[in-house]
Amino acid sequence: MSITFLLDMAALVTALVAAYLWFRASSYQVRRVNKSEDINSLDLNRIVTAINRTQLLNRRAALATALSAGIIALKFAHDMLTR
């Protein structure tokens, strides 16, 4: 297998992982709170947990996107140097 094929496959896989993570992050919804509503500790805990999960998934998706972009940049550099 050539290095170009391996870089293409790695970029494809990391792009798919990033897309999956962005999709998962978008599925967590934070509950709307009415200004006249009394919020107890359980409600606050649910809201903070949803925000934290979304933030963690967004961070992972951003890392996978950056990894994919880095692999594509390596492929372009390899193609330019081997011409």
pLDDT in tens, 55-83: 888 888 888 888 888 888 888 888 888 87
Residues 14-19 have a mean pLDDT of 89
Give yes or no for residue 28 having a pLDDT over 70. Answer: no
Is residue 66 within 8 A of residue 15, CB to CB? The reply is: no
Can you tell me the distance from the alpha carbon of 35 to that of 83, in angstroms, rounded to the nearest whole number?
Answer: 64
Residues 19-42 have a mean pLDDT of 79
- Could you tell me the residue range of the domain that residue 67 belongs to? 3-81
Can you tell me the distance from the alpha carbon of 26 to that of 22, in angstroms, rounded to the nearest whole number?
Answer: 6
Is residue 21 within 8 A of residue 63, CB to CB? The reply is: no
Crossing angle of helices 3-27 and 41-81, rounded to 10°: 160
Give me the number of domains the chain comprises. 1
29 or 58, which is more confident?
Answer: 58
